[in-house]
């Protein structure tokens, strides 16, 4: 019964997050993300009950059918929706909370070769956009959004928006209060801010250099020796 309820909420998650979904039959028959999660539940059950080889076989079969590779050891919460799905890879020690949305081409990958926690932890209600890679045992706080193509290598607090390579938080809980008065379409960009800082510093250095050059010109003018007098008289040394 629980199994049926879980399947129902998985299907509902598709309707909630994909405006292209039309009928339940269509969703059940054609959404490979849904198939991958259902296969993963079987594979994970086998993995946990020490039937590891069979778990791997189910996972490999699922990858063959769906193009989505989820290691049977990965812990996945409720209502995960993998949209489109092709090329998604979820590593062995990944942990995914509830109501997470993952698009095609996402990698939740490891960096260490040791048998330890080496894959990301994705908290509830996170969105991982197309082609993003989250690498290493980092933690992405609840409600965060990872931009398309981002490569995230460090943890992010809840409600962050992370974009770029390496992934930078352009909006987070710490900036929430400011955002009330900010234009949401123009959130601060930390890279642009750093570049602007450098340009400002360069301008200051330019002004300073011009001042130094002017002083140098004045000194040079003072040090020019006086012209010798034309009538042959000996020029007087300038007074000290
Ligand atoms: C990250 C994301 C969720 C942010 O959306 P948003 O809150 O509407 O943000 P905005 O579009 O206003 O962009 C805010 C800033 O981040 C930048 N930005 C947004 N997405 C980016 C990305 N993927 N990579 C790099 N920079 C990005 C914008 O250029 C903008 O910078 P600026 O302030 O210097 O102009 C969204 O841009 C995104 O990547 N969505 C992908 C969804 C997806 O994968 N869909 C696939 C469906 S098949």
User: Consecutive 10-residue runs of the chain (240 residues): their mean pLDDT?
Assistant: 90 95 96 97 97 97 97 97 96 97 97 92 97 97 97 97 95 52 46 83 92 87 70 54
Answer for the pair 76, 40: CB distance below 8 angstroms, yes or no. yes
Spatial CA neighbour of 138 closest among 167, 163, 171: 167
Shortest-distance Cα residue to atom 15 of ligand 1: 187
The ligand 1 atom nearest the CA atom of 132: 44
pLDDT tens digits for 163-207? Answer: 999 999 997 765 544 433 333 344 456 677 788 889 999 999 999
In the chain the beta strands, taken as DSSP E runs, fall at 69-70, 75-76, 81-82, 89-90, 95-96, 101-102, 107-109, 121-122, 127-128, 133-135, 139-140, 145-146, 151-152, 161-163, 168-171
Residue nearest (by alpha carbon) to ligand 1 atom 2: 147
d(CA 25, CA 30): 8
Q: Residue 192's pLDDT is what?
A: 75
Predicted pLDDT of residue 180:
35
Ligand 1 pocket member 161 (CB < 6 A): yes
Whether ligand 1 lies within 6 angstroms of the CB of 130 is answered as yes
Structure tokens at 93: 């020690």
* pLDDT at residue 223, rounded to an integer: 76
The residue whose CA is least distant from atom 32 of ligand 1 is 186
Residue 125's CB is within 10 A of a number of other CB atoms, namely 18
Report CA-CA distances (Å) from 177 to 171, 174, 188, 215.
Answer: 11, 7, 13, 49
Residue 125 DSSP code: T
Report how far apart the first and last C-alpha atoms of the chain are (Å, whole number).
106
What is d(CA 209, CA 140) in angstroms, rounded to the nearest whole number?
46
Ligand 1 atom with the smallest distance to the CA of 185 is 12
pLDDT of residue 184: 36
The predicted pLDDT at position 235 comes to 52
Whether the CB of 132 sits within 6 Å of ligand 1:
no
pLDDT of amino acid 195:
87
Q: Is 158 in contact with 143 (CB distance < 8 Å)?
A: yes
What local confidence, expressed as pLDDT, does residue 64 receive?
97
The pLDDT of residue 179:
37
Tokens of 193: 């801010």
Q: Are 123 and 138 in contact (CB under 8 A)?
A: no
What is the pTM for the complete model shown? 0.75
**pLDDT at res. 186:** 47
């Amino acid at each position: 019964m629980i199994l049926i309820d879980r399947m129902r909420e998985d299907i509902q998650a598709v309707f909630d997050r994909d405006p292209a979904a039309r009928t339940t039959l269509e969703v059940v028959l054609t959404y490979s993300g849904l198939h991958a999660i259902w296969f993963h539940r079987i594979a994970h059950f086998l993995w946990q009950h020490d039937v590891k080889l069979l778990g791997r076989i189910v996972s490999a079969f699922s990858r063959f059918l769906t193009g989505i590779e989820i290691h049977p050891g990965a812990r996945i919460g409720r209502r995960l929706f993998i949209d489109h799905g092709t090329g998604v890879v979820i590593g062995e020690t990944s942990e995914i909370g509830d109501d997470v949305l993952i698009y095609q081409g996402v990698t939740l990958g490891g960096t260490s070769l040791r048998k330890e926690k080496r894959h990301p932890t994705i908290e509830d209600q996170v969105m991982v956009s197309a082609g993003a890679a989250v690498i290493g045992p980092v933690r992405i706080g609840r409600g965060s959004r990872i931009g398309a193509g981002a490569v995230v290598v460090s943890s992010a607090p809840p409600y962050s928006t992370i974009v770029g390579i390496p992934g930078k938080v352009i909006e987070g809980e710490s900036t929430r209060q400011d955002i009330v008065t900010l234009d949401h379409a123009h959130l601060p960009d930390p890279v642009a801010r750093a570049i602007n800082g450098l340009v400002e510093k360069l301008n200051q250095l330019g002004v300073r250099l011009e001042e130094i050059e002017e002083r140098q010109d004045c000194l040079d003018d003072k040090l020019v020796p006086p012209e010798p007098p034309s009538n042959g008289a000996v020029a007087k040394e300038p007074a000290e």
